[in-house]
Chain A
Amino acid sequence: MRPETRDSELVVLGHGGGGRLMQELIDDCLAVLGPANGLGQLNDAAYLELSGGERLAFTTDSFVVSPLLFPGGDVGRLAVCGTVNDLAAMGAQPLGLSLGLVVEEGLERETLAQITASIRGACEEAGAKIVTGDTKVVERGAADRLFINTSGVGLVPPGVELGGERAREGDVVLVNGPLADHALAILAAREELPLQGDFRSDCAPLNGLVAAMLAAGGGSVHTIRDLTRGGLAAALNEIARQSGAHLEIVEETVPLRPAAKAACDLLGYDPLTMANEGKLLALVAPERANDVLDAMQAHALGREAAAIGEVKGLGERRVTARTALGPTRIVDLPSGELLPRIC
């Protein structure tokens, strides 16, 4: 029996899944590229220090979601929000985004127009600007309709230091709302969800929310992480790896909409591993956690924000979950292919 391993000769879909296999693919790349500031840290964006002491945050992301259009958004909105949110996770407001399009011959002009309008709308919401771009057209079959890459540069306010490596014992884990919505919206759009309900992507720019959180918590906010592929489970495990921390969540406190719960129950999905596009987690020192939570709940994108766990200590890298009946289980980095081309 030859299971899917790093020894398989081909890249498999699981390598893009946001979980363990993807981690291995990235580790292989890093081994060749060598560690570098940013890449080595594995945060959502890299800090670049300028000679005057100011700092920029810089990030890049490619968007290969299928289908292009889905309830709650489209690849264009995703492309803007994804990059704005990666900058926001490092405390930066966007200065400028680049937009790179790879278009497959045969894509409807009207679809492209709709997506472009969506990009504009998302930029307006985020207060971001597309300042440079590139367009390539490839022959039929060489790309699946449209792939987008966005890179973003943002200015990091002085004194803001965020990163997965900055977790401290006692930090409270906060999320800004219910999970799994984006993944379920994509499944619904692919007609792979045998349920009918209000399944809409939560795709949204979170930089405004982050600004409010930092205003309320200042230096007590240690980490902010954009939750995308691999869901909450992936983000918590990455932080555990970066900080050498033990993080524990209380399962019952993780917000989930009833439709999402119904879908996960019916299909046997674990909501902790499902993709989001408008959700973040934050690690905040306990003395300011309530202030930050209040600020989140006062913001349109944080009405259902909740405290869901804490950093139990440093020294043992693991993520655990207390279940409703008491026993505590380990939450792994999700393995292999969860849902391909989710973002």
Chain B
Amino acid sequence: MSPLPQASREAMERLVADCRALAARAAQRVGGRVHLMEVCGTHSHAIARAGIRALLGDDVRLVSGPGCPVCVTDAGQIDLCLQVAQRPNTILATFGDMVRVPGSEGSLADVRARGGRVKVVYSPMEVLTVAQQEPQCDVVMAGVGFETTAPTIACMVQEAARLGLRNVLLLSAHKLVPPALSALLAAEEVRLHGLICPGHVSVVIGSNAYRGLADEHGVPCVVAGFEPADILLTIRMLLQQVADGDARVENAYRRAVTPEGNRRAVEAMYSVFDVDEASWRGIGVIPGSGLALRDEWSAFDVMDRFGLVTPEVRDHPACHCGEVLRGARLPAECAAFGKACTPARPLGPCMVSSEGACAAEYRYRAA
């Protein structure tokens, strides 16, 4: 029995009907459209694929959020990855969807065309195998990802130490989600009435992690799974809260998410990383929102080993990824969307990453 909630067409229609009815009541209460943020890029993808935006009707506006780790990686760090990949005797290891993100001088794909060594990995543990096979090369992992992925990178570092591998390095661009949400809510650029909280980040950090947001900002937070039924159940719960004037944390993904999360994963993460400030593309520097290697692991820090400095990079003038990441603009509201900016010729990361809101919207754009 698969644990995935497959719903019949009737059940889905019923859920949609419930949501629409609740949306009308919620809209009345807030005096306008209800704004819900899809925090996580994988949710944006699932929502676009299921056509949920259109199904909900005009009382609800689903906006995208900063939950695409590749999209929020500082442009300067993208350029650092390109620099590293071009160094002699160096292999840059990366998750797949970083490969086509445009930096100042092309993408990692372009660097590969010019002879740079770029290795796509599914698991960070593959880095260790490469490092063992190529002892004369430095293998640098581009550490991009939130709390879902950071614990796996932490395990990579710990195992590298256990194996005595001196040629494994990390470029940490890891980030934490709740501080970014806090910053967005505090900035009040977009009036958000509810948050669809990321499912797999929450597996690690637990649903309690959003209590602060609900209490301080009066915003309902519901943790969602990734099937269309999961997402509609979540939206129904959010709209119910908005209609009732509530602001609580609820968990609609209980089959995988507990209130405390995965303690072991959190411990692994914080035994290797310290919390630091981080620069989020499109948002700016957010204190306490990033992960940096702890001093005792600094031998693995590529910034130290290679003496790197993160360059300041301007975004393409026609690129509105920042606003999309902050929920201030929908992909379809970007003048470049589908014209100057397409998956074949992306201006910014939101169109290239598999979790980018623009990529999701483009791939599943209605005929």
Question: A residues within 8 Å of B by Cβ?
Answer: 1-5, 8, 10-14, 20-21, 192, 194, 267-268, 318, 320, 323, 325-330, 332, 335-337
Q: Specify which chain A residues have a CB less than 8 angstroms from the CB of B123 in the assembled complex.
A: 194
Segment touching A, from B85-93, B139-147, B168-176, B344-352: B344-352
Q: Specify which chain A residues have a CB less than 8 angstroms from the CB of B102 in the assembled complex.
A: 1-3
Please, how many residues of chain B have a CB less than 8 angstroms from a CB on the other chain?
Answer: 41
User: Does residue B161 face the partner (Cβ distance < 8 Å to A)?
Assistant: no
B366 and A10: CB pair below 8 A? no
Across the interface, A13 reaches (CB within 8 A) one of B109, B122, B364, namely B109
Other A-B contacts than A1-B316, A194-B123, A329-B366, 11 sampled, CB-CB below 8 A, are A1-B315, A1-B348, A8-B106, A12-B110, A268-B354, A318-B367, A323-B50, A323-B364, A325-B50, A329-B363, A335-B344
A336 and B364: CB pair below 8 A? no
B364 and A329: CB pair below 8 A? yes
Q: Which residue of B lies closest to A11 (CB)?
A: B113
User: Does residue B54 face the partner (Cβ distance < 8 Å to A)?
Assistant: yes
B346 and A325: CB pair below 8 A? no
Question: B residues within 8 Å of A by Cβ?
Answer: 12, 49-51, 54-55, 96-97, 100, 102-107, 109-110, 112-114, 120, 122-123, 126, 228, 315-316, 319, 342-348, 354, 363-367
Q: Which residue of A lies closest to B319 (CB)?
A: A1
| B100 CB, min distance to chain A CBs, angstroms | 7
A1 and B344: CB pair below 8 A? no
Known A-B contacts A2-B102, A12-B110; A329 and B342 likewise in contact (beta carbons under 8 Å): no
| A58 CB, min distance to chain B CBs, angstroms | 31
Q: Specify which chain B residues have a CB less than 8 angstroms from the CB of A327 in the assembled complex.
A: 50-51, 54-55, 364, 366
Q: Which residue of A lies closest to B228 (CB)?
A: A325
Across the interface, A5 reaches (CB within 8 A) one of B105, B345, B364, namely B345
Across the interface, B365 reaches (CB within 8 A) one of A4, A14, A326, A330, namely A330
Q: Specify which chain A residues have a CB less than 8 angstroms from the CB of B51 in the assembled complex.
A: 323, 325-327
Whole-angstrom CA separation of A332 from B365 in the bound complex: 10
Known A-B contacts A4-B106, A267-B122, A327-B51; A13 and B112 likewise in contact (beta carbons under 8 Å): yes
B363 and A337: CB pair below 8 A? no
| B102 CB, min distance to chain A CBs, angstroms | 4
B342 and A335: CB pair below 8 A? yes
B367 and A320: CB pair below 8 A? yes
Q: Specify which chain B residues have a CB less than 8 angstroms from the CB of A330 in the assembled complex.
A: 365-367
| B288 CB, min distance to chain A CBs, angstroms | 30
Whole-angstrom CA separation of A335 from B346 in the bound complex: 11
B346 and A3: CB pair below 8 A? yes
Q: Specify which chain B residues have a CB less than 8 angstroms from the CB of A8 in the assembled complex.
A: 106, 110
Q: Specify which chain B residues have a CB less than 8 angstroms from the CB of A12 in the assembled complex.
A: 109-110, 113
Whole-angstrom CA separation of A336 from B367 in the bound complex: 22
A329 and B109: CB pair below 8 A? no
The 3 lowest CB-CB distance pairs between A and B, nearest first, are: A327-B51, A335-B344, A320-B367
| B117 CB, min distance to chain A CBs, angstroms | 14
A2 and B106: CB pair below 8 A? yes
B366 and A332: CB pair below 8 A? no
A21 and B344: CB pair below 8 A? yes
B354 and A332: CB pair below 8 A? no
A4 and B105: CB pair below 8 A? no
Whole-angstrom CA separation of A300 from B52 in the bound complex: 41
B345 and A14: CB pair below 8 A? no
A337 and B109: CB pair below 8 A? yes
Q: Specify which chain B residues have a CB less than 8 angstroms from the CB of A267 in the assembled complex.
A: 96, 122
A194 and B122: CB pair below 8 A? yes
| B199 CB, min distance to chain A CBs, angstroms | 15
Known A-B contacts A10-B114, A328-B367, A330-B365; A1 and B354 likewise in contact (beta carbons under 8 Å): no
Q: Specify which chain A residues have a CB less than 8 angstroms from the CB of B120 in the assembled complex.
A: 192
A2 and B344: CB pair below 8 A? no
Q: Specify which chain A residues have a CB less than 8 angstroms from the CB of B316 in the assembled complex.
A: 1
Whole-angstrom CA separation of A330 from B354 in the bound complex: 17
Best-surrounded residue of B105, B122, B123, B348 (most CB of chain A within 10 A): B122
* 16 A-B residue pairings within 8 Å (CB atoms): A1-B315, A1-B347, A3-B102, A10-B114, A267-B96, A320-B367, A325-B228, A326-B51, A327-B50, A327-B54, A327-B55, A327-B364, A332-B363, A336-B109, A337-B100, A337-B109
Q: Specify which chain A residues have a CB less than 8 angstroms from the CB of B113 in the assembled complex.
A: 10-13
Known A-B contacts A1-B103, A318-B367; A325 and B12 likewise in contact (beta carbons under 8 Å): yes
Whole-angstrom CA separation of A311 from B103 in the bound complex: 41
Q: Specify which chain B residues have a CB less than 8 angstroms from the CB of A337 in the assembled complex.
A: 100, 109
Q: Which residue of B lies closest to A322 (CB)?
A: B367
Q: Specify which chain B residues have a CB less than 8 angstroms from the CB of A320 in the assembled complex.
A: 367
Q: Which residue of B lies closest to A192 (CB)?
A: B120
Whole-angstrom CA separation of A318 from B366 in the bound complex: 12
Q: Specify which chain B residues have a CB less than 8 angstroms from the CB of A325 in the assembled complex.
A: 12, 50-51, 228
| B359 CB, min distance to chain A CBs, angstroms | 11
Whole-angstrom CA separation of A300 from B271 in the bound complex: 57
A4 and B122: CB pair below 8 A? no
| B71 CB, min distance to chain A CBs, angstroms | 14
| B53 CB, min distance to chain A CBs, angstroms | 9
A2 and B105: CB pair below 8 A? yes
| B141 CB, min distance to chain A CBs, angstroms | 16
Whole-angstrom CA separation of A14 from B106 in the bound complex: 14
Across the interface, B347 reaches (CB within 8 A) one of A3, A20, A329, A332, namely A3
Known A-B contacts A12-B113, A323-B49; A4 and B12 likewise in contact (beta carbons under 8 Å): no
| B8 CB, min distance to chain A CBs, angstroms | 12
Best-surrounded residue of A3, A21, A268 (most CB of chain B within 10 A): A3
Whole-angstrom CA separation of A12 from B113 in the bound complex: 6
Whole-angstrom CA separation of A124 from B106 in the bound complex: 48
Q: Specify which chain A residues have a CB less than 8 angstroms from the CB of B345 in the assembled complex.
A: 3-5
| A190 CB, min distance to chain B CBs, angstroms | 11
Whole-angstrom CA separation of A120 from B99 in the bound complex: 40
Best-surrounded residue of A8, A11, A267, A335 (most CB of chain B within 10 A): A335
Whole-angstrom CA separation of A1 from B341 in the bound complex: 12
Q: Specify which chain A residues have a CB less than 8 angstroms from the CB of B347 in the assembled complex.
A: 1, 3
Known A-B contacts A1-B316, A3-B345; A328 and B107 likewise in contact (beta carbons under 8 Å): no
